Structure 1
Amino acid sequence: MLQEMISKTVVMEAAEQFKHVLPHDEDNIQLLKKALILYRQDSVYRVKPLSGHTAAAYVQDVVPVKVTIDLSDVKKSSCSCPAKKICRHILAVYLYLYAQYERLGTFTEYWKEQRQSFDQQLLLNQLRLSPENVRPTFENWKRFFESEFRLWEQRTPKGQQTMQYLYYGYFSALKKRTPSEPELKKIYQIHAALATWLAMHTLIENMRIDPEKDFYSLNPYIEQLMDTIYSSIDELKTYALSFSLDPFLDKTPGVVRELLLKKDIFQYERLRIFGEIWSALLSRPKWLKRELDVLHGLPDTPEIQFARLHLEFLLKNDEAIFEKAGTFSPDILPYTFQWLSVMTAKKDWKRLKKWYERLEGLVEGFSKLDRPYREIRDALSEFFLFLDDYSKNANDEQLYERYCKKCLPYTFTEYSQFLYSRKRFIEWMEIHSLVGFSIEEIGQNALKDIAAEVPEALVPSYHREISGLIEQRNRSAYKEAARCLKKLRTLYNKMKKQDVWKRYMEQLTARHKRLRAFQEELKKGKLIDGES
């Protein structure tokens, strides 16, 4: 409940506030020690979130006190004790919240960082600047991002120049300068996230971060930066963007391109961000054509090739993309999902028809890649969500089924649902046999439906099941075989093919006449008489 209502981001960003409100001096060292004692003695209890940034709790000290903590502005937090400022009880509750997401040692190390007095004063002066003091321009933003990063580098020990400290220190500082105007606010948040992402690459280039060794520790922060960008774009989509934003949007391609050209790590994520920003904010033909000219002058890296194709897509030059389709590696398939998503959202079924006709070879090739099953399955599952939407709206079932067949066994689930919904039970049973399902692994409701509609669809599977059980040569398998034979007899009766059943049983008992235990199970089940 607590972690559902109060996010990790909110809790971690509050660490920066405590660092300013409680500077590292002797008094506050003692305060933190007392708060740690309260936390470690389990004195914090009945913690209840009140909103996305506030929580209430009780702390058992000499007498119990009630604390209300406000993580958006910790100075607004309150405690029922006599203290007039941040007290050990408020700090103990914060430590409790912090410990839900991160080890407490990280907070104490972060809080102990020393700053040079000059740098500290410079930062405070910058934070005091308001939109009224400094005219918001892209150039001012860029200068601020750069100076703030230099400041962060100076005050952060080299051993602590990690993505975690970059996100909760540098990125948090950038967000404090966010403009108040709704549209400008969202554009700023996008650029602050991009600046933080680029700063990570600077740390990689300076050998502070190892992209291979630290990949899994970087990943959650990249996801959070992407969430910031996506949510800002989603909110901007609700506005009719005014021309006053043009000076900011006009400079955005250079920043996005800079991120695109970074090497190796998070290639897929960088391409997704490139595609999303261009699709949502920069899709004016003049910007698209200008950027295409720039990209054509750059080396043919995979990132640049995709970027050119994406801009051609936004200009609706599909034929230019299709001309190159034969040279595409199947690996590119997941990168086309952005385009399919855009066309599906716009319900552009006519345009999608051409795309799905041209993508068949690429999708089939992807299903034959030498990759882990789950990796291929996950990608094809996402692709089939788009294809299903198209086939239903365009009434093109044949296309959908063709894709299903070409991508088996990865598309077993989609093809199975497709066949079952159309009561094509014979084929439905065939693909279950193809991927190794036994008759006993198929749900009873499905067996009843098929037996009522098309009993002959079940006959081959029962025959295979019975043969397999007999080959096991043990009493329990013979019992199971007898049960299956009874069900098979019912199916033959429904089909009015009792003579076929009779011949089958004569051949079966003759072929296995030396298996006494099997013959006994047949007699017990009254499948043969005692003299057979």
Structure 2
Amino acid sequence: MSSSFSDVAHSHKDFIEKTLQRFEEQLHPSANEDAELVTRAMFSVRNQAIKLRNYSAFTQILVCQIQDVRTTDVTISFTQKQISCTCPQKKLCRHQLAVIFKLSQYFISLQDWLTSWRAKKTVQLSTLASERSPESWQRMADEVLNYTFKEQRPIDSFLISSLLENARLKLQRQRPFEQEWQHLFDLYMEIALMKRLLQHAVKTGMSMDNNYFNYYLENAFIRMERAIDIISRTTKLFAAEPFFDALQLITRDILLLEKGATHFRLALYLQFWTKLFTEKKRLTAELSVLEKTNAPIDIDLNVVKALFYILLRTMTPLERIIQEMSLENVESFIDVAQQSLEKGYLAEATLILKKALPFLQTFIQEQLIPIRRQKYTRKLDVLYEQIDLTEAEELTLYAAFGKFGIEAFSDYLLRHARYNEWVALHQLYPTSIAYLEQSGLKEVVAHAPEAALPLYHFYAMDEINQKSRQNYKQAVRIWRSMKSAAKKAGKLDYFENYIDAVQQQFKRLRALQEEIIKSNLIAS
């Protein structure tokens, strides 16, 4: 028995309604290309251009054929909740929309839907794009974003990237033709999208501490960082000054949000003020605003003020405000120090980094989530390498790193020829012979071979405890290296006695005895 569109529609009403709603969220009546897509999809329905080729009740797969400029097939898998088309367009196309319209007409009025959708149109985006002013660009962003965030409810985290990317692409179609304006347009729209998303998240109580949200933030940050770098290297147009004023206000609004994505907001603000807004007059005016601000936010404004004192080269207030450093804001101060080093302000960065030293151990071992500790200690090692530290300060730094800074501490101990301490470190935090060789074992053997002997014993015993022939072979390899180090230290007799003792201790491990005999370890 063959199925009809009516049968299919009523069997899968829930999927069809949800798909139409999803398509509606992607389409904006003020965008010419979206209006054209809807018009052509409606034309296909009204002209009976859609034919049902096949529907399987068993697999629940529907295949439709659309007579267009060229014939295309649209396939819907109702079980997998997927719709696809054979046309070249990768995203939503008029053919997919036409099939959903065709199925929807059995329980809604397409004319009512179209009227309602067109009623949301306020002004053509192309009209706004032709008027080059911050106000016009903001209206353009608002026109798209009001549609994207039309409901005052949290957005499902997994939808954030697709919704915002769809909005961004609609705005990108209005990009100026002149190359000197393009990157400024990109940056303005990115920051406008970001402000609206963060405001919506705060207002609706959305969770900002999840992988989906952070994925979007990271990608948006990379795009903005790239645009900032390009704009900062080009000559600023006089006509662009009002846009810079508008960007300054938007970045401040993001900074002064009540809560959420704290590290991202601060990092974004630092990017703008260290690379783009570099004029002394602008810096002074912004600092004045911040000093008068007492909004209850989750970013310590003392940290932000410290950045401006550095950029304005005013050491006295900087020294005063650094005294406000605490466990809660130490990471933000370190970010400011990093920016200072990038700008070449060594004295200011040194002041911050030395003040941060007493907080680092508790911050790394208790405050940072485990997945960040290894990477963050590498970042700190790079920063602290650029400033002069006393020996006591260096030891405080590496003690704070703990097991997450073994590589950095190893380098430090080797630089100071403290080979016995190097060995003790790697006994305290055992890894593998391969890691030891990467961390400087050969250098230790070259300068203090006797100090390395306990390490070889430790790792050889670890292999023996695994109780397999493969591990015994690895133990023998380690002993060969140990023999070489013993010979270099003039302790070959000690090594031979050591191997005799090992053979006696493990005389019941026949496979190990065979590997030792085959290796000729005791032969001179």
Q: Shared topology, TM-score over 0.5? A: yes
Flag the 1:500–1:14 CA change in 2: closer, same or farther, 3 A: farther
Q: Is the 8 A contact 2:309 2:317 kept in 1?
A: yes
- Alignment-mate amino acid for residue 291 of structure 1: E
State yes or no: 1:285 paired with 2:280: yes
State yes or no: 1:88 paired with 2:103: no
CA distance in 2, matches of 1:354, 1:214: 32
The more displaced of 175-184 and 222-231 is: 175-184
Q: Which residue of 2 aligns with 1:408?
A: 402
Q: Which residue of 2 aligns with 1:75?
A: none
Encode CA deviations 1:148-169: one digit per residue, 9 max, x unaligned: 4445566x89898963564244
Encode CA deviations 1:29-65: one digit per residue, 9 max, x unaligned: 599978999xxxxxxxxxxxxxxxxxxxxxxxx9xxx
> Which of 436, 444, 449 lines up with 1:455 in the alignment?
449
CA distance in 2, matches of 1:429, 1:107: 72
Flag the 1:157–1:491 CA change in 2: closer, same or farther, 3 A: closer
Q: Is the 8 A contact 1:260 1:274 kept in 2?
A: yes
Question: Equivalent residue of 1:303, what SS?
Answer: coil
The Cα of 1:435 is off from its aligned counterpart by 0.7
Q: Which residue of 2 aligns with 1:66?
A: none
The Cα of 1:273 is off from its aligned counterpart by 1.4
Q: Which residue of 2 aligns with 1:298?
A: 294
CA distance in 1, matches of 2:71, 2:498: 87
CA distance in 2, matches of 1:137, 1:342: 31
RMSD (CA atoms): 5.1
Flag the 1:191–1:497 CA change in 2: closer, same or farther, 3 A: closer
Flag the 1:14–1:202 CA change in 2: closer, same or farther, 3 A: closer
Question: Equivalent residue of 2:285, what SS?
Answer: helix
Identity %: 17
Q: Which residue of 2 aligns with 1:375?
A: 372
- Alignment-mate amino acid for residue 233 of structure 1: I
CA distance in 2, matches of 1:272, 1:499: 61
The Cα of 1:329 is off from its aligned counterpart by 3.1
Flag the 1:313–1:513 CA change in 2: closer, same or farther, 3 A: closer
Question: Equivalent residue of 2:299, what SS?
Answer: helix
Q: Which residue of 1 aligns with 2:305?
A: 308
CA distance in 2, matches of 1:527, 1:490: 10
Gaps in structure 2 of 5+ consecutive residues: 1-25, 55-64, 75-84, 105-112
Q: Which residue of 1 aligns with 2:5?
A: none
- Alignment-mate amino acid for residue 126 of structure 2: L
Q: Which residue of 2 aligns with 1:8?
A: none
Flag the 1:311–1:503 CA change in 2: closer, same or farther, 3 A: same
Q: Is the 8 A contact 2:453 2:485 kept in 1?
A: yes
1:213-292 superposed matches below 5 A: 215-292=210-287
Flag the 1:157–1:407 CA change in 2: closer, same or farther, 3 A: closer
The Cα of 1:143 is off from its aligned counterpart by 3.8
CA distance in 1, matches of 2:101, 2:201: 21
Q: Which residue of 2 aligns with 1:430?
A: 424
1:128-527 superposed matches below 5 A: 128-129=127-128, 131=130, 134=131, 136-150=132-146, 163-164=160-161, 166-204=163-201, 207=204, 211-212=206-207, 215-295=210-290, 296-299=292-295, 301-305=297-301, 306-336=303-333, 338-388=335-385, 390=386, 403-419=397-413, 425-437=419-431, 439=433, 442-443=436-437, 450-465=444-459, 488-497=482-491, 500=494, 508=501
1:32-43 superposed matches below 5 A: none
Flag the 1:405–1:179 CA change in 2: closer, same or farther, 3 A: same
The Cα of 1:408 is off from its aligned counterpart by 2.4
CA distance in 2, matches of 1:216, 1:376: 18
The Cα of 1:236 is off from its aligned counterpart by 0.8
Flag the 1:418–1:33 CA change in 2: closer, same or farther, 3 A: farther
Flag the 1:367–1:178 CA change in 2: closer, same or farther, 3 A: same
Flag the 1:472–1:414 CA change in 2: closer, same or farther, 3 A: closer
Flag the 1:175–1:455 CA change in 2: closer, same or farther, 3 A: same
- Alignment-mate amino acid for residue 254 of structure 1: L
State yes or no: 1:22 paired with 2:37: yes
The Cα of 1:237 is off from its aligned counterpart by 1.0
Question: Equivalent residue of 1:139, what SS?
Answer: helix
Flag the 1:502–1:168 CA change in 2: closer, same or farther, 3 A: closer
Encode CA deviations 1:471-517: one digit per residue, 9 max, x unaligned: 889999888777766654554333223565577678x489x679666
Q: Is the 8 A contact 1:282 1:288 kept in 2?
A: yes
CA distance in 1, matches of 2:315, 2:241: 28
CA distance in 2, matches of 1:17, 1:417: 61
Question: Equivalent residue of 1:330, what SS?
Answer: coil
The more displaced of 85-94 and 371-380 is: 85-94
The more displaced of 336-345 and 252-261 is: 336-345
- Alignment-mate amino acid for residue 416 of structure 1: S
Q: Is the 8 A contact 2:325 2:333 kept in 1?
A: no
State yes or no: 1:127 paired with 2:130: no
CA distance in 2, matches of 1:36, 1:322: 77
CA distance in 1, matches of 2:48, 2:153: 28
CA distance in 2, matches of 1:267, 1:32: 53
Flag the 1:316–1:88 CA change in 2: closer, same or farther, 3 A: farther
1:68-79 superposed matches below 5 A: none
- Alignment-mate amino acid for residue 197 of structure 2: M
- Alignment-mate amino acid for residue 297 of structure 2: T
Q: Is the 8 A contact 1:466 1:481 kept in 2?
A: yes
Q: Is the 8 A contact 1:237 1:280 kept in 2?
A: yes
CA distance in 2, matches of 1:407, 1:198: 36
Flag the 1:408–1:119 CA change in 2: closer, same or farther, 3 A: same
CA distance in 2, matches of 1:216, 1:108: 34
The Cα of 1:409 is off from its aligned counterpart by 1.6
The Cα of 1:278 is off from its aligned counterpart by 2.2
TM-score norm. by structure 2 comes to 0.68
Q: Is the 8 A contact 2:334 2:353 kept in 1?
A: no
The Cα of 1:353 is off from its aligned counterpart by 3.6
Q: Is the 8 A contact 2:134 2:243 kept in 1?
A: yes
Flag the 1:86–1:145 CA change in 2: closer, same or farther, 3 A: farther
